[in-house]
A and B are shown apart, each in its own frame.
Chain A
Amino acid sequence: TQLLEQSPQFLSIQEGENLTVYCNSSSVFSSLQWYRQEPGEGPVLLVTVVTGGEVKKLKRLTFQFGDARKDSSLHITAAQPGDTGLYLCAGTNSGGSNYKLTFGKGTLLTVNP
């Protein structure tokens, strides 16, 4: 069974601070996705990374896929209260079961004004 470990589990910071959250596995994934989930809602896809070493930017969010495609990080610059939410990473495998997302348990981020 493939597992994705996310750290930290909880993070509370002040507005304007920078932060990095991590997603690690001992398994190789063909792609990795990051989602944000707000209270009472379903996860919403932020980005998909597919190439080892790939870096993608989405405004103040920077996503990186590890060279070996086993880990990923999400860096937020100058966090804002609107960034508050549960950040989930999810990996997929190549082949017939590429629809199957393996989710980490998430990092719950709180950005205080």
Chain B
Amino acid sequence: DAGVIQSPRHEVTEMGQEVTLRCKPISGHNSLFWYRQTMMRGLELLIYFNNNVPIDDSGMPEDRFSAKMPNASFSTLKIQPSEPRDSAVYFCASSLGGHTDTQYFGPGTRLTVL
């Protein structure tokens, strides 16, 4: 069975450019999460969708970050304009949606902003 799929796996861009990260959750999962991982701050939740609706975006660092989930099988995280401090590994995770359901993480996108 396919797990959570993320693309690209690696992204190198220059400051000021727009970056779009993509995620395909596990089929049948109703909840989707975007996380960011850095050495300094560890893993942090950015945004949580349930049934394609954003429920909690309190972790989105600033207006340069936006996320969408147009349907149950696809989500994007966009950074515009990107800054060097956005460099991190971005993970997408999905779960069935129950309050104790396991979150399954994708392999992550390593973003480097020069």
Residues of A with Cβ closer than 8 Å to B? 31, 40-45, 48, 88, 90, 97-101, 103-106
Q: Are A104 and B42 in contact (CB under 8 A)?
A: yes
* A74 to B33 CA separation, bound complex (whole angstroms): 26
Question: Which of B14-22, B61-69, B77-85, B96-104 lies on the face that meets chain A?
Answer: B96-104
Categorize the interface residue count of chain B. Answer: 20 to 34
Q: Are B42 and A45 in contact (CB under 8 A)?
A: no
- Assess A106 versus B42: contact at CB under 8 Å? Given A31-B100, A48-B100, A99-B99: yes
Name the residue on A nearest B48 (C-beta).
A99
Q: Are A100 and B45 in contact (CB under 8 A)?
A: yes
Q: 4 other contacts beyond A40-B108, A45-B102, with CB at 8 A cut-off?
A: A42-B107, A99-B48, A99-B99, A101-B43
Q: Are B42 and A105 in contact (CB under 8 A)?
A: yes
Q: Are B42 and A97 in contact (CB under 8 A)?
A: no
Residues of B with Cβ closer than 8 Å to A? 4, 31, 33, 41-45, 48, 50, 55-56, 91, 93, 95, 99-100, 102-103, 105-108
On chain A, the residues within 8 Å of B106 by CB distance are 42
* A106 to B4 CA separation, bound complex (whole angstroms): 22
At the interface, is chain B mostly helix, strand, loop or mixed? strand
Q: Are B108 and A41 in contact (CB under 8 A)?
A: yes
Q: Are B107 and A41 in contact (CB under 8 A)?
A: yes
Q: Are B48 and A42 in contact (CB under 8 A)?
A: no
On chain B, the residues within 8 Å of A45 by CB distance are 102-103
* A90 to B42 CA separation, bound complex (whole angstroms): 11
* A42 to B44 CA separation, bound complex (whole angstroms): 13
* A49 to B48 CA separation, bound complex (whole angstroms): 23
* A45 to B3 CA separation, bound complex (whole angstroms): 14
On chain A, the residues within 8 Å of B4 by CB distance are 42
A31 to chain B, nearest CB (A): 7
* A41 to B110 CA separation, bound complex (whole angstroms): 11
